[in-house]
Structure formats: C-alpha cells, structure tokens
Chains A and B, each alone.
Chain A
Amino acid sequence: MRFNYFHLMPYDVFPEKTEQWPVDNGAFDAETARQLYNEYIDTMVFAEECGWDSIGCNEHHFSPYGLMSNCNLIGSALIQRTSRVKIAMFGNLVPLLNPIRVAEEYAMLDVISGGRLMCGFMRGIPHEYIAYGLPPDESRPRLAEATELIRKAWTEPAPFGWEGEFYKFRAVSLWPKPMQKPHPPILYSGSNPDSARTAARNRAMLGMVFIPNLEAGRAVIEAYLDEAHKCGWEPGPEHILCGFHTCIAETDEAAREHLERGVKYFMQVLMAPQREAQQIVVQKSRYFGSDGAGEFFLHRLNHAGSRTIEGAIEDGTVICGSPETAVKQIKRIHAELGCGWINTNMKVGNIPNQAVRRGMELFRDHVQPEVRDLSKSTGAMPVMAMAGE
C-alpha cells in the first residue's frame, strides 16, 4: 500500500461564516498567509521523513478553502526540499488553463525532480469555472482535448501543430520534455462512475475522494476497471487512489475530537461560500452529464456536514483514531476497495498544525509499518501506456 500526503493549505484563521462566493478578501492578511505557507510546506516536507510515498498538491481559487491557486509553484518548492517522494499534483485544473503551459510546467517539474512527478489532469469542482470565466458545459470536452494535446506535446519527436475544437497551436515543441517515458503518470479525478469511466478511457490513474460509503466507492472502481477492460488495458491497484480525511492521535477519543472540530470548521466556514456557487453552476449548466451525477454531487454537498464522525468511521469513509484503529481502518479500506494508494488529508479545516504533525509521527512509527505490505503488487509505480499502444 502506498500513501499520498495531501494538503489543502486552508487559510485556517478565517473568522467568519459567509455563504457569499467569491469570498470577500478584505480580511486577508499577507503576513498570516506567509506563515501558513511556510508552516504547510514544512509539514509537507516532513511527510517524506514520515514514510509517505508522495506529497499531494492541489488547485483552488478565490476562497480561504485552499491557498494553492497554482499547485506547480508549491510543487517546485517541495521538489527542492525532498529527494525520495513523488510529487503528486491534484491540480492542474486543465480545462481552465492553457494546456501547453500545463505541459511545459509539468515537464519542468518532472525534469527538476528527476522523474518524481505524478500529473493530475483535473476538471475541478464546479465553481472554479466562475473564477476563470469559462463555460462549465465545456469542462469535459476541454479536458478530453487538452489531455490528448498535452500527451502529444510530451511525446512527439518533432515540432507539431494542433487544430482542435478549443485549442489551436500551429507550432509546438516543448523544451524541456518530461524525464519519465513515455510521460509521467496521469491522474484523473473520478468520484462517480461516469468520471471513473472517463479516467479509464484516458488510461489515467483514478483518484477518488469524498465517497459516501465503501460500497459506493467500490461501484466507482468497478466502473473504472470495466471501462479500462473495454479499452484494452488492465489497471492494477497501483492505478487506484482513494482519499480520506485522516486523523491519528494517541487515543480514539482524541482523534475524534480533533477531526470533529476540524470537519465542522471545514464544512461550516471553509466550504460554505462555495457551496452556494457550486449549486448555481450545477443547476445552471451541464457540468455533470445527464446520468444523475449532478444530483448525486449536490446531495453529497448538502449532506456532508450532517454526518457524524462515528457514522463516517462506521461507513469507512474516514481514517480516524489511535494508530491501532487506523491500521484496522486502512486494512478494511484495502480489503473492500482494492486500491493501491490511500490519499490522506490530515489538515482538515482548523485542526491544529501541532496535532497534524503528531499524527504524522504516529503514522510513521505505528501505522505505516503495519500496512506497508498490503497490496505488494503495488510495488511498481504506474507506468502510463499511450492510448492506442
């Protein structure tokens, strides 16, 4: 079993409950943010020391929910201070960006890191499309076209041009090209069967978060495996990553207390402004297809805060407890989902940074040694096959 250390970089001193999005930035304090950035980067670097296999960055806009509006910048900082771990991007929000720029920056990161990059090709959550002024309806076709274009940019042996629906580049020739061949692993998010099938069609790793229960997660994975089979390839556990809020403390009670408080702040303060914006986008656009994914998303969005920590533990959708409890929970997740990667988000809401670091030490000393050898077949890193090969 491999583990990714994920960080949202929340502005965790945001004082107000507001439902307006974008969030009024009058309360933003640069010095506070400077301290947070440095604290968070230190924590992410510490994850290498604690045995995590990769460190995950992400991209969000216009909200204290996350300060990482460009995950490549944080990734670059992490590369300089680490030597072993993979740097996993849970951005870039590819449909919002210039795909050639994405290809270039990822190639730079892969070369600078010596081939340690895992590349997220994310569609983003719905409200990000307001931030960058792009039609949510175009998110899927933009992602599909950009994926092909970026792959070409990474792998073509000579200059080429691209005449597409959304992108036109008459002369492309990347300097540098990625170090990993044919290119770094690509990760798609897929928390519903439709998105999971898209990931499979693009021969990408599947990244899944916020599943309502393990049974639903299994259905998503089965959709992914089934579609991959139809497309002529067989993903292994190493291609499947499942994300969980994770809180490890000396005792179950302490862990629950931390996580409960952190989730409450996360849901009621950090998530509240964008919840409204996401509802508008989902209701007023075809961001999701017509298969009920939009309704599922909204249901999950509106009910996430009502779940108790105990209920989430019972459902297997959080990792929370003492090291012994965490080991049992991880083994259950592995047994029921068959994933080769677990994505741990330990800085949930305003959980104190010291508590997060203590949890990381406990993971290093008592959890990781017990679960390391689950899915031994995941010893290899995913190698991305080219579509059509």
Chain B
Amino acid sequence: MTREAPDDEASDAAGSADRRSVLLGLGTLGAAGVAGCLGDSPSDVANEGSPTATTTPMDGSATISPTAATTDGTSRTPTDAGTATDTETPTPVDPETEPVPAALTSKFYLGAKSLAVIDDRDPTNSRDVDLITTEPADATGAFRFVGVLPIDGRLLAGTYDFVTDPDLVASGRLRVFIEGEELLFSEGRERVQLHRGRHDFRVEFLREEPGETVSLGWRGTYGGLPPRIAEVDPVREAELPAKGQYELEVGTTPRAKRIAMPNSGSENSRRSLAVGLPSYTSFCFDPTDGSIPYAWLGAFLDYGPMVGYGTGRGDDPGRPLGAMFSVGGTDFPLRIGDPDDETGVEFQGYRKRPEPFELHYSVDGKSITRAVEGVIGDGNPPGRGLRSTVRFEEPPSEPVYFLTMQNDRLERSASVGTWDGGRLEIPGGVEEFTVTVINTNPAAMGMIGGGGMGGGGD
C-alpha cells in the first residue's frame, strides 16, 4: 500500500523507505497551487497543507529515502504509519551556509549523441555550479549534474512535486534520479516523498540543438516555493506572475528588500523591510515600531507588485512566496521602563554583513542592534522561528520588556530575564540578551488576508 502522508516531519517517517511509485496526472499544481501557496486564501492553504486532501494518486506517490541520512545505521523505517517519529540522526548540515541544491557539479560531454555514453567517457569539462545551467549554451552534447537535495529542516520532509518539460522526458533526453531511482514523470510531473536527510540527486540532459536547456523545478506541497534547482524553472514560470521575473531569491546569505508589505498590522507597513534568511525563513519588519509582524516559510519575495509587474504604476505590497506564520510579533515589542509605552522607536537601518543580519534602531533614544537569525526547532515536526540578539549601545538602567503575542504554538526562551506569559522582563543594566521564539507548527499556517495570521490564531 502506498500512502499519502501529511507534509511534516511526522509524515516524513510515515512512508516506507523502499516503497516508491509514480503519481500520475497531478492536478493540484498550476492555478490551484498558486492560490494556495502564494497567499490568496486561507482555506486553500489548509487544503494545500494536507496532500491527502488535494491529490488522488492513481498508484501512489514515490517515496524517496535518503541514502546518506543514517550515518549510524539506524533504521528509518517507521513502525506506525500514523504516529511514528523519525528516529534517524540527521546528517549534520550547516543550514546557514549550505546551498540548495548542495554540492552541485556539472559535467559536459561535448558532441555526445546519447546519454548512454556518459559513463564511458571523460567529460569535456567539469565544474561546480549553483544551479543547473547548461553552459556552454551554443554547444551540443550531454550534461550530467550531480548534487544533493538536503531536506534538513529548512525544507520540510514530505511531498514534493518535480516538474519538467514532458517532451524532454518523452524523447529520452532528460533523466532525473533521486537516490539512484529514476523519476519517470507522467506528463512532465512526478510526486515523491522526501524524508529528512540528504538526497543524492542526478540530472542528465542531451542537447541536440544549441540553446536547448533543462527545464526542471519542484515544490513542496506544504506551501511556499523551495529554492530553484534549475535556471529554467517551470514551476516558477507557471505559478508566479510574470513567470517569476520579479522574484528575489535567497541563497547562502541574507537578503532584504525595502518594500510595502501586506497585512503587517500597521498602516506604516508601507515602510516595511522584508528579510530573507538562508534558513528559508523570511520575515517582515516594521521600522515604525520595531515589530516583526510575521514570518514565512519557503522562498523569499515577489516584488513585482512594486513595479506593477513592469506594466503599471506599481507601489503595491510585495508578495511573500511562502506561507506565513507568527513569531509572536506585537507592536513595539521592545519597551524600556514602562511596559505599556507604545512609542519611541526610530529606525536607523540594517546591516547584512558580516552576518548575522542586524536591524538597527533606537527605543526611547537608546540605540540597539538586533541581530536576527532563523531557527529550526528540534521538535517533530521541527518548528520554525527567529532568534533576536538585542544589544544596547548603552544599557538602560531601567527594566527592559520584550513582548510577544500569546499563542500556544509559540515556544519562547531568553538568555536572561523572567517570562510573564508572553512578556519578558529583563532587569536594568543588561547590555545584551537573546530571545528565541519558535512556532511549533509553521506548516499549519494561515496566509495573507482573511483577518490576520490565521492558522490557529497566531
């Protein structure tokens, strides 16, 4: 029996390690996927969050197990499909620096007339690459790309849909392998289950005419786009306005965009700063009160609305390319002396390098640096959140309060001080403190619109 599992870490463990099959005729991508994943309807998101609710596999989905995930030889095979937990020890990764796809190399075999010859020849050239880009563009021959898809918490374990050009597959000029298993693609699509761990990934492509290139994309059904695999990404071309021309992507370093943002809870969200972190956690910062109204999981930002997608006057809010979740943001979260004082924030800018990403502003005239890092929880499924390290230029003598929203999904911790519900009180004189807020179920997120965070009242 093949089973469609929920798209979180529990579901990751639910599938059998060796079972795989192909899901034919996926109908959930395209327009429906766009609506659900890119933020128009909370109800769509809820559906998208549960693959069993939106897909009807004809013969099941491919379940792919990582070959490198169990370094200690422990079994990953769950004993209970409904409740099992993943007992593997994930391969250590440095999610702040490792790209996705990881360790990608490109080999080109000039003049090759068939993919079958790759194993018998030395490549004409070999190089490390960030994406599948079939350079040189004007030469014919065969390409082989080898890399790793790290499902390491930045990307959630669960269901992924791989999409390519059906003609390429039908003509035998494109082959895609995960863990050595070839994806068969039906009408250019195949759905697989990716467990937590590092998945070997191989793509072979035969270029018969100069200029032909690989079209390959993927997406997780939990919401939000995963990072681009290939320069030509049919998922982005199909789902994003203007074929993704205005997407800002995050690699191994933080990225930001000053832009109006939706639904940040303040009319001053027009002044917002969107920040994308390498952990594939992004957040919206409101410079007028120092708050982080929400974060999101997945790809970073479509800034097309700011430029009217190249055709209009623009200046509409940017589109987070993921599903939003709360990190406990409240208005004026940092207060000095008086916990009820909602004033006194002056934005002073931000710094990207050296990392971590820093927000600079003052509260009641006290200059602070707030370093913000993405955090992946150790729960199952892993939560997602942010860690703020707040450093005062001159420590205030009065108590400092850091306020977070009351929410059962939030796990809070701090390096110093005392929690009273969602409010952290820090004694006067402290120069630096750290607050970590993790949303334990970011995959059950609400989306933009519909009166707030949704997803359980975050």
Tell whether A pairs with B.
no
Residues of B within 8 A of A (CB): none
Residues of A within 8 A of B (CB): none
